[in-house]
Structure 1
Amino acid sequence: MQFKRLTTALAVAVGGLLGLWLLSLPPGAFDQGFWATRTTLVYGSGVLALGLMSIGVILTARPVWFETPLGGLDKFYRLHKWLGISVLGFAIMHWVLRKGPSLISEIGLFSIPPKPAHAQELETGFNLFRDLKHPAAEIGEWALYALLALAAIALWKRFPYKYFYMTHRLMPAVYLVLVFHAFILIDRSYWTKPLGPVLAFLLLTGTTAALISLFRRIGYSRKAAGQIATLSLYDENQVLDVGVRLETAWRGHEAGQFAFVDFDDAEAAHPFTITSAWLDDGLLKFSIKGIGDYTRTLAGSLHVGQGVVVEGPYGRFNFQGDGDRQIWIGGGVGITPFIARLKQLLRVSRTGPIDLFYATSTPDSGFMAPIRQLAQQTGVAFHLVDGSKNDRLTIETLAAMVPEWKQADVWFCGPSGFGDSMRLAMVAQGLPTSRFHQELFDMR
């Protein structure tokens, strides 16, 4: 269901802009010969690239009112990635259509006909659109090259996150340059056609979001400050429990939600699932697995009393499904939202049976003991899938333990490959797609 939402959102964005552009063309726009058609396509590809980029920039400002229709902030970033890839395709098309004939003519294969003089080009005195046309074209070309470089870095997963974050902060500035490029060069007849109001809204909203990002105001109203109160490291699975005592107001959170956490160091804020239930006492807990360049250093760099800024909460991994029966699958550190839900169930009654599968290759007895205790206290059936003993959770092993699994809502959090394989296998054997809920959070 969540993937259908995202593909539908992408299709609406691309199809909507394409349809509005086609409706805005004059009759016979593609019957005027090669050069006129090329000019039309230059404008169209540019409009689609910038319109989709505007939507992507708007999503980076984390508008929480989009979380419900898209299914959570983790889905924002997946849609943002798909939009970025689409933008690249249309931007490259725009560049090829714009520069291709000139490059080919330079090697003597054909000559480009001279452009007809327009009335505004014969005017004297300052004219914004005429006099800034050449610099707008030049700066737009260089902005495109910057866009390609930044997008390549974003898609290269091995590029360190710290430096990816630093380079990606340039994207709003690149976007603003492209807005200027489009405003000066776009066919002004579009503004009075069906495309005009929608494109103007996207550019204005995108510009606002870009400025919010450049001035580092994203999520400002959702931030709370505090200090590290407790630190507990589980050596066997390299999970660090960080307890935070907030000193400013926090709006509260539900089990399964996450927050961006800034430990007042050189690194940017990272998203971590909140593993504590909210008791209105100012206390939050995060269980952080040392799996990346940054998270592996936290056990040695954090200390009690260190300042912390928490932004959130975000996410719609809320355990609200169609039926009473639920199956939870936590892979590795993906167990964290289920810990929070178990703690929440101590205070609220559950409506149906729940089976919790914890798949890990590094089981730590100290880390698992409170999970087992919480499961026992709340009546949740706990199943350990121990990868260190070559145990694997498959649809066959799950079905043997939970024969009625097709009537359950499945909540999965863990490695994306593991989740995708479970989802495909379960759906292939009869689980409705809408009953498989998967956390998709990926910053890139």
Structure 2
Amino acid sequence: MRIGPVAVAALPVLNGVLWAASPPHGGGRQVVGEAAGSTAVLLFATALVLATRARWLERFFGGLDRVYRAHRRAGTWGFAFLALHVAAVPWTLASPGGAPSGLIAAAGFAVLVVLCVVRRMRYAAWRRSHRLVGVFFLVSIAHALLVDQVVDAAPGPFLLLSAAYVAGAIAYGHTLVLARFVRPRRAYLVRTVRRLDPATVEVTLSPRGRRLAFRPGQFAFVTFHQRGLREPHPFTVSSAPSEEALRLTIRAAGPFTARVHRELVPGRRATVEGGYGMPAHAGRRPRQIWVAGGIGITPFLSRLRAGGPGRRVDLFYVVRRAEDALFRSELECYGGLRLHLVVTSDSGRPTAERIAATVGRLEDVDVHLCGPEPMTTGLAAGFRRLGVPATAIHLELAAFR
């Protein structure tokens, strides 16, 4: 397991240990409430740091997709501790500025966490709402300064809380002001827009200067400078790093990607930021199993276009209907690649047992999975039951926000 998720999970534990080691004077309810509140601050500060897209964070989590997953969990658990803080602390109006600022911060975080779990809202609205996380975090600093706290008399928790406020404020300032100047961005022009079927489009971008540097299987945040499409959105790059043009294969899976499919036209400018992610296509074993669900084929296309499989690979291309296998003819041309088309409307979803029956022994394979999360997590569990070690199973998170 990577150290990043462990560190995020350990923060509430560390805070609890510090509170137990140096408890301040005060009533039990007040101490419990402030301990919960300081834990909430730690988690919200963590969420702000993880939202910076700092490249160095990826190696601690296994890629930016997993950084964002930890970001979301930190925010959700932060609200849980904030709710406990609000319920436990005896509220008083003796501090005219402290109580209102605390309630504003709590209400703001509550709204944002609710938005985190709303999957059907427009991406642009979701993204704009999350810019306010830092605002409510700064309001919580005002709350802490305006009220009398027992944490001030607990050295350990006070130092950790102070460090969290500093880290969170710096991270928010970086995201709001500095990020646009330091993130790896390149200018491109939309050269072609090829609609492959009613839901999938292949966009080819030509560089307007230096090309984007990326590894096969990585993704990038792309902003199309066209009305209605100006929000940066993550897409896996399906071309090889050596290609002059950049190819994106996009499936209409929501309102934004549906607009890309329906409305994007050649000639528009685009800004591409990346590459992000830590795809593990190399592996250490002599054989590989790749399982791609639908648009999850894109990182494998990038790997193949960068020079073929490089070793014996069994690729299971999972689609609902045979005609959905848009890249079947290309995939059949790669030497060393055995293509297995899995049509779920005919044979049902793939299982680890059925895949093992097709490829034979599993002692010397690396397994790479990319596609809908229920499919990939189910297959990963199935391969572990069949004896494939967790270190040989690699999941790409095809969807995250």
TM norm structure 2: 0.91
The answer to whether residue 354 in structure 2 is matched with residue 368 in structure 1 is no
The DSSP-based 3-state class of the residue aligned with 1:304 is coil
Aligned to 1:145: 107
1:239 matches 2:200: yes
Deviation at 1:407, TM superposition (A): 2.7
My pick for the range that moved more, 151-160 or 412-421, is 151-160
Deviates more, 1:426-435 or 1:182-191: 182-191
Q: Which residue of 1 aligns with 2:39?
A: 48
* Residue 270 (structure 1) aligns with: 233
Q: Secondary structure at 1:134's aligned position in 2?
A: coil
1:289 positional shift: 0.8
Q: Which residue of 1 aligns with 2:83?
A: 92
Which ranges in structure 2 are unaligned for 5 or more consecutive residues? none
Aligned to 1:353, which of 305, 309, 312?
Answer: 312
- Structure 1 residues 146 and 216: CA distance shift in structure 2, 3 A: farther
Q: Which amino acid aligns with 1:357?
A: F
Residue 268 of structure 2 is matched in structure 1 by 306
CA deviation digits over 1:358-415, x for unaligned, max 9? 1011434653222322x23xx1211111224344311222011111224311111100
Q: Is the Cα–Cα contact under 8 Å of residues 296 and 398 in structure 2 kept in the other structure?
A: no
Quote the Cα distance in structure 2 between the aligned partners of 1:209 and 1:285: 32
For residue 58 of structure 1, the aligned residue among 24, 41, 49 is 49
The answer (yes or no) to whether the contact 1:372–1:382 under 8 Å persists in 2 is yes
CA offsets, 1:292-319, max 9 Å, x none?
A: 1121222331111111011111001131
SS in 2 for 1:266: coil
Residues 435 and 47 (structure 1), Cα distance of their counterparts in 2 relative to 1, 3 Å cut: same
Q: CA deviation at 1:255?
A: 0.8
Q: Which has the higher contact order (CA 8 A, sep 6+)?
A: 1
Letter in 1 for 2:202: D
1:288 is matched with which residue: 223, 247, 250? Answer: 250
Give unmatched runs, 5+ long, in structure 1. 104-114, 116-132
Q: Structure 1 vs Structure 2: percent identity of aligned residues?
A: 28
Distance 2:340 2:18 in 1: 53
**Alignment check: 8 A CA contact 1:423 1:436 kept:** yes
Could you tell me whether the CA contact under 8 Å between 1:77 and 1:441 is conserved in 2?
Answer: no
Does 1:323 find its partner at 2:285?
Answer: yes
Q: Structure 1 residues 170, 441: closer, same or farther in 2, change over 3 A?
A: farther
Is the Cα contact below 8 Å between 1:78 and 1:442 reproduced in 2? no
Equivalent-residue separation in structure 1 for 2:204 and 2:324 (angstroms): 19
Query: Superposed, which structure 2 residues align to 1:24-423 within 5 Å?
Result: 24-26=22-24, 36-99=27-90, 133-185=95-147, 187=149, 190=152, 193-215=155-177, 217=179, 220-235=182-197, 238-264=199-225, 265-267=227-229, 268-279=231-242, 281=244, 283-346=245-308, 350=310, 352-362=311-321, 363-364=323-324, 367-373=327-333, 375-376=334-335, 379-423=336-380
Provide the C-alpha distance between the structure 2 equivalents of 1:366 and 1:333, rounded to a whole number of angstroms: 10
Give CA-to-partner distance per residue, 1:215-262, whole Å, 9 cap, x none: 4835743111111112211126x3211111121434511111000111
SS at match of 2:120: coil
Task: Give the total of aligned pairs.
Answer: 398
Q: Which amino acid aligns with 1:46?
A: G
1:12-45 CA distances to partner (integer Å, 9 max, x unpaired)? 222122223333324xx5xx6xxx1112122211
Give distance in 2, aligned partners of 1:189 and 1:90.
Answer: 16
CA distance 1:156–1:216, change in 2 (3 Å): farther
Judged with a 3 Å threshold, the aligned counterparts in structure 2 of structure 1 residues 58 and 141 are, in CA distance, closer, same or farther, namely same
Q: Does 2:381 match 1:431? A: no
Shift of residue 146, structure 1, vs aligned partner: 1.5
Letter matched to residue 237 of structure 2: I
Letter in 1 for 2:391: S
Q: 1:191 to 1:412 in 2, by over 3 A?
A: farther
Q: Determine if contact 1:254/1:318 at 8 Å carries over to the other structure.
A: no
Q: Say if 1:274 and 1:166 are closer, same or farther in 2 by CA, change over 3 A.
A: same
Structure 1 position 98, deviation (Å): 2.0
Give the Cα–Cα distance (whole angstroms) in 2 for the partners of residues 221 and 250 of structure 1. 14
Aligned with 1:217: secondary structure?
helix
Sort the Cα spacing of 1:277 and 1:89 in 2 relative to 1 into closer, same or farther, 3 A.
same
Question: 1:308-331 CA deviation, whole Å, 9 max, x = no partner?
Answer: 011111001131434232111110
Q: Distance in 1 between the 2:33 and 2:374 partners?
A: 39
Structure 1 residues 90 and 391, CA, compared in 2 at 3 Å: closer, same or farther? closer
Return the letter of the residue paired with 1:152: V
**Largest Rg, 1 or 2:** 1
Whether the 8 Å contact between 2:369 and 2:396 is mirrored in structure 1 is yes
Q: Which amino acid aligns with 1:433?
A: A
